[in-house]
Amino acid sequence: MTGVTIDMYILDVDEAEMSEYYEVISREWHRFYRGKMGVTLKVPIRSFEDFAVWYTPGVAEPCREIDRNPEQIFEYTNAGNSVAIVTDGSRVLGLGNIGKAGLPVMEGKALLFKYLGDVDAYPICLSTRDPDEIVQAVEWISPSFGGINLEDIDAPKSFRVFEDLIRKLEIPVFYDDYQGTSIVVLAGLLNALKLVGKKLDQIRVAVVGAGSAAIGSARLMIEAGVRAQSLIMVDSKGIIYEGRGNLDKYKAEMAKVTNRQGVRGGIQDALSGADVVVALSRPGPGVITEEMVSRMADRAIVFALANPMPEILPQDAKRAGAAIVATGRSDFPNQINNSLGFPAIFRGLLDVRARGINTGMMIAAAQEISRLAEEQGLREDYIIPTMMDPNLYPRVAAAIGKAAVDSGMARVRLNYESLRDSAERRISRYQRSLRLLEDEGFLPPPPSQV
């Protein structure tokens, strides 16, 4: 692999070869650092006497204050900036049911939380697959956190866990596969439609896949204005329609409102005449073919979001007539990835001490992501900001925080400007402090790349 660089736009590198390269580098770096996370202090220790303030006997006083008024836990502890990333490891990334072996993925999520949102996130892999036990475990640990992020739990169990926790907890419970994906999908779709000259309430949409991400995206698109009757979902057994067998509770709910024409068949039938396809199914390529895309409407939009390989490669979808193509990968244009949302979403939720998150808040976040890209100039290869855009996370944090205030879900009332300024300061300060540690040699550089 001599001469391979990280930039696939410069070199013509086979995708499988590049994936192998990333995996080799990742194994070396993870082993070198023994993971990505650690605990550090955010208070000064100047003398022995400081221990009497931060610990005993002085610490008794903030304890008494919290005992008198439980809301003071947000003033006297880090609970208000802490999020639990909870998984049972039953559906990890593209790896499947691997249990605690998914911890590197959860640490990766925690890294993104901190670097992009200055949110302290703690990866928690549970040694149970029982939904009642997962709910109980999260309920037990919830007093230490300002929010819960559910991650990589297989459906339909994940829906039950999510719904139960929403009912039980007075802090935001965010199901990233379900809600995070849907927010970023909607953001990209809003801008793609502007480029092709189509409107949300006039399009036909095919959703390939019927897991949590697909169902979440379908529901949010409908809430935002897509006509439910003009949306068709496809699972591994074919098109979903009312009365079809082999439907769990959540697919059956979708069958009642979508596909009112009663279309039957497979992926090719769902895509026929569709303006948009949002694919969140299994890795390709080949799940969606050029022939299927060629049967879509003119100026079609193709979101092929399976990882690590999209259901159809962008060049193939373009060759078949698609006007705009997005994937879940950073080495292709138009990356639709949850990381564009969740660090900022939790930054905003925590800053207003939100009790939860509702559909209006999710749409507000999607619109802000969409608006930022539009301000920078939309193109067919640029419908959504990139992860490294410094303006993205403060703006999304402010948008969702303001929406929480407007909807009555916030304990603290702050306006958009103050939320944005606060988020900018926090995120910038943390990123500068990390660079300072690197510059001073306290964070050693990673081992040489192979």
416 is annotated as an active-site residue: no
55 is annotated as an active-site residue: yes
d(CA 186, CA 189): 5
Task: Name the catalytic one among 22, 42, 100, 109.
Answer: 109
Task: Name the catalytic one among 55, 168, 237, 256.
Answer: 55
Question: Which residues touch 169 (CB under 8 Å, ≥6 apart)?
Answer: 138, 139, 142, 148
H, E, C per residue of the chain: CCCCCCCCCCCCCCHHHHHHHHHHHHHHHHHHHCCCCCCCCCCCCCCCCHHHHHCCCCCHHHHHHHHHCHHHHHHHCCHHHEEEEEECCCCECCCECCHHHHHHHHHHHHHHHHHHHCCEEEEEECCCCCHHHHHHHHHHHHHHCCEEEECCCCCCHHHHHHHHHHHHCCCCEEEHHHHHHHHHHHHHHHHHHHHHCCCHHHCCEEEECCCHHHHHHHHHHHHHCCCHHHEEEEECCEECCCCCCCCCHHHHHHHHHCCCCCCCCCHHHHHCCCCEEEECCCCCCCCCCHHHHHCCCCCCEEEECCCCCCCCCHHHHHHCCCCEEEECCCCCCCECCHHHCHHHHHHHHHHCCECCCCHHHHHHHHHHHHHHHHHHCCECCECCCCCCCCCHHHHHHHHHHHHHHHCCCECCCCCHHHHHHHHHHHHHHHHHHHHHHHHCCCCCCCCCCC
d(CA 204, CA 390): 34
Crossing angle (nearest 10°) for helices 212-224 and 181-196: 50
Q: Give the residue numbers marked as catalytic.
A: 55, 109
